[in-house]
Structure 1
């Protein structure tokens, strides 16, 4: 009897509570079903059942009219506290958070390789000034970075008054200890108690809209030669070492052996919106010196005018299911190379214009990819912008180069790649310079296995040859194996 009375008390209490709820929360059919079940189980007598039915009918308010509901909802919204502008939420993808109206994202890359190098011996007939095939007394090994150092980037993205705004900071630390003479990627220092460098090569701001395009201000990758290095498969590996006994924080990959390094440069650049697959860019850049890289060239270092770079890019419009993708590009760089004093290659105030053009194409057909690239210029130089671009007398040297590359991916994870590239530096009119590099060329082959969405395992072989105008030649064979991770 006590248990029955306790159940009756609980049931009556619950029913009373339900009956007092607004009509949108307490459904009449649900309450009626509950009363009927309590009656059927003998918990309620017929008299108690009738009394509760009558009580429910009296206490349950009629449902409010739709207008009243809408008014109450509007009042609730108005009374609710405004959203916290400093609320922190995770981003939908990647590593980052939304901090109020600002997206903060973190990204980066880490790599490391075991590299075994077999250089040509030190001998008079192996001397090539400006050559990129290493020479040495013996074979050597290292644990080092590849063409990329490490990378840690922070990007802030927001929209203000209709403008899309991005602030980007990119730090590039290396594995290997460096001398520090010439920057974070200076010559290696393979001895104890040394330290690596951090190359703070990116810091830029972009402001734009979908209709006006984008303006970039700061330090970032250039236009000329940009697509050449970004599509080079040795970018994620080692390629040619540039020296392996005491490695710097980067190898060469195919820099100077198929293209001139684009570099990360101070700039103000405008890029148009995309029209039918086309975009165009033009910018003013920090002017650079004509640099005597080989020891066989002249220097020019006056900077009266900015460097100009411009380019056009085309991407074939496709959808996600398309098996064919294609990209075409062309760029130009030009700068006045002027003498600052009589000690330089030309009389003070005299100048020569350095100009380079590049062009390329990439085609993806299902799991196959083909890349073809070429460049040409006068006083452009080789390896780096305006490196060895003029003779000791200040006369322009012509240069050109190219590379071709093919890759195929099996089962979406395993990629085989191969490429050949060459960079050529001519002599100035009337110049005789038998030790100056004439060509740097290499064959490279590599395999990549996608272990996870972040981690790729890499192995490579590269054969590099440097040839001088007088016939000297040096050769280098490199084997590398390691891993690279992007997040």
Structure 2
């Protein structure tokens, strides 16, 4: 009898409240009242559950039949509300705004770098050599191989197509002279100077999962891209280049194991993944050589890449091969020629251990940068090749890594040039500590050697300590 009395009291209270409350507020207010009655002990849990079940809304098909426009109106209102809604992205830093995803990413690094160059003498002159020479040691607070990064991605789906735009801005911390290489020109460590912003990425993508993706704009190349993206010196300094007047980037292992892939205007197609395989092919802005002046080339450059990724228990692997070809129409009487090259590489992991091997070869391709020193003064092609190997071992937050690499340049047929570069090589030893998920601390030692076609050679030693942050 007591339980029945409580139920009657609760139902009466709810009924009175419903009569005194506007219809759109009844559900929320009734729920709150029932919960309060349960908390005060007037209703048991079973009684509370029973009353909540009784007040649950039921479908009313008659209302739908008498007002057929109600459902379209509700859907339209919901769609309008969805367009106005701003949500956090499920991962990364960004937001979803009415069907458009906006994401931000970035990186900052800084290193104290001490470089001990070889003495600048006649016997240490190597044209194209990357070991530093000078009269004394130098110290710098500088960027490593990466400058800073700020990336902005905007993506959506329209008409069944995945569409995205990417902007990549690369600000450095070092002051520069804004010379021929723009934001990454030679350093100018003087008062009132400023650093540069390298806008090296501006591209759009259009694709579907089963059709692949078309990229149009400026982005990293295909040939040689995996070589630098898997290099341990990407996170650090490696061979510094100029340290007394540092630019926004060091060399890392560029020109000492691989040719720099560069960021280039391109139209590139990438297939969907077939198992672990994926292929890319593209047409590229033709580049001039540094032998003469600006070339006018009638055909674009071509690049392609094939990758294969696999995983088996504790084993992981990433294999790749790429190629490049570009015809140069000549300049000021120099002959036309086609510069071409290929590379192959693989990175294998087993638990905490990772090893990598890489090789490239080319004819009329040059060294350090694409088509740099690719011909002699008469326009005759030089061959080039190179490789690097590296290994790393991770213990909890600590990673110990080492690598060795070299790049070779051959004389053109009939060329005599004893001071021209024959080989750049380096040893790198590195220790990394993952302080947080964003911040990594690093210490590194690099020994660089440059050898000429004749007897000349130069050696330098570099120590770097600093940190890199990614978000």
| TM-score past 0.5 threshold | yes
SS at match of 1:184: helix
Structure 1 residues 465 and 13 mapped into 2: Cα distance closer, same or farther (>3 Å)? same
- How far is 1:88 from its partner? 1.4
Instruction: Show structure 2 runs of 5+ residues with no match.
Output: 1-8, 43-53
Q: Does 1:176 align with 2:174?
A: yes
**Residues 9-48 of structure 1: pairs in structure 2 closer than 5 A:** 14=13, 16-17=15-16
- Is the contact made by 2:318 and 2:347 (CA closer than 8 Å) also made in structure 1? yes
- How far is 1:351 from its partner? 0.4
Q: Does 1:314 align with 2:305?
A: no
Please give the per-residue CA displacement for 1:159-188, whole angstroms capped at 9, x wherever unaligned.
011111110000001110000012000000
Q: Which residue among 161, 164, 168 is the counterpart of 1:163?
A: 161
SS at match of 1:164: strand
- Is the contact made by 2:151 and 2:166 (CA closer than 8 Å) also made in structure 1? yes
My pick for the range that moved more, 160-169 or 82-91, is 82-91
CA distance in 2 between counterparts of 1:96 and 1:70 reads 42
- Is the contact made by 1:276 and 1:317 (CA closer than 8 Å) also made in structure 2? no
- Is the contact made by 1:277 and 1:317 (CA closer than 8 Å) also made in structure 2? no
My pick for the range that moved more, 187-196 or 250-259, is 187-196
Q: Which residue among 358, 374, 382 is the counterpart of 1:389?
A: 374
Match of 1:5 in 2: none
Structure 1 residues 77 and 258 mapped into 2: Cα distance closer, same or farther (>3 Å)? same
CA distance in 2 between counterparts of 1:63 and 1:168 reads 48
- Is the contact made by 2:320 and 2:346 (CA closer than 8 Å) also made in structure 1? yes
SS at match of 2:110: strand
Match of 2:329 in 1: 338
SS at match of 1:316: strand
Q: Which residue among 441, 463, 469 is the counterpart of 1:479?
A: 463
Match of 2:360 in 1: 375
Structure 1 residues 71 and 24 mapped into 2: Cα distance closer, same or farther (>3 Å)? farther
Q: Which residue among 385, 388, 403 is the counterpart of 1:419?
A: 403
Match of 2:427 in 1: 443
Match of 2:194 in 1: 195
- Is the contact made by 1:300 and 1:337 (CA closer than 8 Å) also made in structure 2? no
CA distance in 2 between counterparts of 1:299 and 1:437 reads 22
Match of 1:205 in 2: 204
Q: Which residue among 128, 131, 150 is the counterpart of 1:130?
A: 128
Q: Does 1:366 align with 2:351?
A: yes
Structure 1 residues 365 and 18 mapped into 2: Cα distance closer, same or farther (>3 Å)? same
- Is the contact made by 1:184 and 1:198 (CA closer than 8 Å) also made in structure 2? yes
TM-score normalised by the chain length of structure 2: 0.87
Q: Does 1:458 align with 2:452?
A: no
- How far is 1:456 from its partner? 0.6
SS at match of 1:228: helix
Please give the per-residue CA displacement for 1:74-118, whole angstroms capped at 9, x wherever unaligned.
987655433331321111111101111110000000000000000
- How far is 1:340 from its partner? 3.0
- How far is 1:14 from its partner? 2.6
CA distance in 1 between counterparts of 2:406 and 2:279 reads 28
Structure 1 residues 120 and 79 mapped into 2: Cα distance closer, same or farther (>3 Å)? same
Please give the root-mean-square deviation of Cα atoms over the aligned residues, in Å: 2.8
Q: Does 1:146 align with 2:137?
A: no
- Is the contact made by 2:293 and 2:331 (CA closer than 8 Å) also made in structure 1? no
- How far is 1:209 from its partner? 0.4
Structure 1 residues 402 and 78 mapped into 2: Cα distance closer, same or farther (>3 Å)? same
- How far is 1:338 from its partner? 2.0
- How far is 1:17 from its partner? 2.2
- Is the contact made by 1:299 and 1:390 (CA closer than 8 Å) also made in structure 2? no
TM-score normalised by the chain length of structure 1: 0.84
Structure 1 residues 11 and 89 mapped into 2: Cα distance closer, same or farther (>3 Å)? closer
Aligned residue pair count:
436
- Is the contact made by 2:381 and 2:412 (CA closer than 8 Å) also made in structure 1? yes
Which stretches of structure 1, 4 residues or more, deviate above 3 A after TM superposition? 10-13, 18-27, 61-80
